[in-house]
Amino acid sequence: MFNKFISPVLMILGILLFACAGRQTQPTTAGVIDLSGIWDKPEEILLSFIATDIEYIPLETTTDCLLGEPQNLRFTVLDNHIAVSSKGLRLFDRQGKYLRTIGRIGKGPQEYFSSGEYVIDEKNGRVDILDSDRDRVVSYRITGEFIRDIRIADHAAIITRDESGRIGVMYLPWDQDIKDTARFEWINEEGKLIKSIPLYVGRPKDGGDTWLIAARLYWNQKKLVFAEWPFDTLHYLADDHAWKPLWIPKIGSNKMPREVGLNLDRWEAERNDFTSVMINSESSRYLFFEGEKKEKFGIVIYDKMTLAGHWMPGMITEDSLNMETVVNDLDGGIPMRSTILTGAQGDYYVSLLSPFELIAKFKNHPKSELPLVRPELREKLFKLVDRLREDDNPVLMIVKLKTKNE
């Protein structure tokens, strides 16, 4: 199961990385998300259950910005730009028109080896690309001019920025013999260290056993959140620069004991005997998890307004990377997939779709197999498909999620 579900998600998105840590103290003060009663009550969750609208934006195709297959791309939707990492960081406007490529791939002083991890500050017109292979952050203006490169330590995995303009770098060492080096650091524009904050605390002095952990960093309501797995605890970075527990999902009595998770061999052998969840993303109303229960897997949706959790087992297609999870009953188009679960940006989910797939499914304007909540959206989808060519750049799909007022 690890190879069928978790591994492809890690590979595609490139935002979950492995690190080592020792025994931790279980947080005692945190909000509890009660998911314990959902596992034996599977639901068919339709897209209209959590969303109200869909927008499609075809990205302009030119010889200067051929992007390739959607599943290989990292992308971000901003107020005024769409950014796509593909042999360099490509910028489009919000209508999909290609604007420019930021910098270029290379080994020169103003170049970067990979643009897979980046952060864009539209307010201050700045783009920062993590060039982890050369232990640098390369900074540009959003209009494309080079600003500077900033030297950083090795093992950098994730980059972010806060509202004050500080750059944040998460370090996740791969070497399991390295102790106490997994950390998050704030640096200023010149690369000077402002604060170094350990990620994992509470180890015994002898280091204890090591264990496999997937770590994720994201912003939520102006909080910097650090999610760890398989222990299912979400921490936030408090004003005093300490990690404090934010939520602990309550998933029932068959939760994995910590002594299992602290032993890599035992964890790998016994993980399917337990229930676990891993946070994928969050909107103002919903928390989305990947959930597992004794070799069953799927998605878990927690509604912060109703305090209710919903569990939907996964459905694997011939290509497990295109795992269908939530049927699209808004326009009868592409369903919400496991790969879209990490696409929460504000109250939207975003995904890149293949023109080839859209043309193959909707070229002849087939009738929907289920009643549609927004049938007028299907007509817009058909008009889009009629304009597409199979070798065009991907199409951006933006799904508007319900908010607390809906």
| pLDDT single digits (tens) 275-302 | 888 887 888 898 888 888 877 788 899 9
Sign of the Cα torsion 245, 251, 253, 254 reads: negative
- List the structure tokens of 214: 């997937």
- The pLDDT assigned to 7 comes to 30
The chain-wide mean pLDDT, for the chain, equals 79
Q: Which amino acid would we find at residue 13? A: L
Q: What is the DSSP string of 343-397?
A: -EETTEEEEEE-HHHHHHHHTT-PPPSS--S-HHHHHHHHHHHHH--TTSPPEEE
pLDDT in tens, 2-27: 222 223 333 222 322 222 222 233 43
User: Which pLDDT value is given to residue 48?
Assistant: 95
Which tokens go with 129? 């690309």
Q: What share of the chain is helix, strand, coil (3-state, %, to 5)?
A: 15, 40, 45
pLDDT digits (tens, 9 = 90+) for 31-86: 788 998 898 888 888 999 999 999 999 999 998 889 988 878 888 888 899 999 98
Grade residue 203 by pLDDT with cuts at 50, 70 and 90: very low
| 240-250 confidence digits (pLDDT tens) | 677 788 888 88
Query: Could you read off the pLDDT of 103-131 as tens digits, one per residue?
Result: 989 888 888 888 888 999 998 899 999 99
Domains of the chain with CATH codes: 2-401 (2.130.10)
Continuous segment of H or E residues that includes residue 66: none
Tens-place pLDDT, residues 78-101: 889 999 998 899 999 999 999 999
What is the percent of the chain where pLDDT is above 70?
79
SS3 annotation, 236-268: EECCCCCEEEEEEEECCCCECCHHHHCCHHHHH
List all residues 6 or more positions away from 177 whose beta carbon is below 8 Å from its beta carbon. Answer: none
pTM score = 0.81
The pLDDT assigned to 246 comes to 84
The dihedrals phi and psi of 84, each to the nearest 5 degrees, come to: -135, 130
With CA atoms as reference, report the closest residue to 209 among 258, 143, 171, 257.
258
Cα 226 → chain centroid:
12
Share of the chain above pLDDT 90, in %: 34
User: What confidence score (pLDDT) does residue 375 get?
Assistant: 95
Three-state DSSP class for residue 167: strand
Residue 2 is predicted with a pLDDT of 25
Q: Are 230 and 276 in contact (CB under 8 A)?
A: yes
Question: From the CB of residue 70, how many other CB atoms can be counted at a distance below 10 Å?
Answer: 21
Question: Which residue has better confidence, 207 or 196?
Answer: 196
Reference 89, options 57, 122, 70, 111; nearest CA is 111
**Which residue did the predictor score with more confidence, 404 or 259?**
404
- Per-residue pLDDT at 81: 94
Q: Are 328 and 336 in contact (CB under 8 A)?
A: yes
Regarding predicted confidence, which is higher, 243 or 397?
397
pLDDT tens-digit readout, 250-273: 888 788 776 776 666 777 788 788
Cα separation of 396 and 59, whole Å? 7
